[in-house]
Amino acid sequence: MERKYLELKERVLKANLRLAELGLVTLTWGNVSEIDRVQGVIAIKPSGVAYEDMKADDIVIVDLNGQVVEGHLKPSSDTPTHLELYKNFPHIGGVVHTHSTYATSFAQAKKAIMPYGTTHADSFFKEVPCSRELNKEEIQNDYEINTGKVIVETFKNRDYEFTPAVLVASHGPFAWGKNAQDAVNNALVLEKICQMNLLTDILNPGDNKISEVLEKKHHERKHGPHAYYGQKEN
């Protein structure tokens, strides 16, 4: 393996394997990528390769036009979607797509994930939106690119850093973060929140939305300008 991309490939392999360890993927239904903005490349899972068989050398390096720079396998079929997000969300460093059970169920129901409690507010500000459905032309022509475009469209009036995830209608969840591992963490939290919301609605079919003051408090103590959760970095 070429040393130039060795650490990037190893990070992306580790993040992809973690999806399987966390139970967020079944068979090969998911992928993680990470961008190196200095070198202008992303590393991404190869298409259709089983997680238990994957090695760092299998991770594919592509440029920002989707052309393979290094790798002996085809990159994920979702690569164009990842690239659209990297091009339009300049402060992200990693992207995850899964078909995890609860988040995909919300996507299939075309329902946004409403903020019901502090677990949601700790990671996502306001609702996690569900995109509109792609139209026939968008599906038949450049489907994966248009999936990325509809995500970007969904965040036209939203903060992609404060709400680092989306549901694509009838498809499934995408999440992002400062790097591949951070994106996986957000995908995990997203799945857990969907599970909690479903159970909450069963227990109480009424209005379960968190109060705005409590939502704001929990989000800002982790992500606001005066955040105090956790340890300070030296």
**CA atoms lying within 13 Å on the CB side of residue 110:** 6
**Catalytic member of 142, 159, 201, 229:** 229
Cα gap 148→69, rounded to integer Å = 22
Rounded alpha-carbon distances, angstroms, from residue 229 to 122, 126, 218: 10, 19, 9
H or E segment and range at residue 9: helix 6-21
**Catalytic member of 5, 63, 122, 207:** 122
How much of the chain is helix, strand and coil, in % rounded to 5? 45, 15, 40
Confirm whether 229 is a catalytic residue: yes
Residues 6+ apart with CB under 8 A from 13: 54, 55, 56, 58, 59
Torsion of CA 189, 193, 196, 202, to 10 degrees: -160
The residues annotated with a catalytic role in the active site are 122, 229
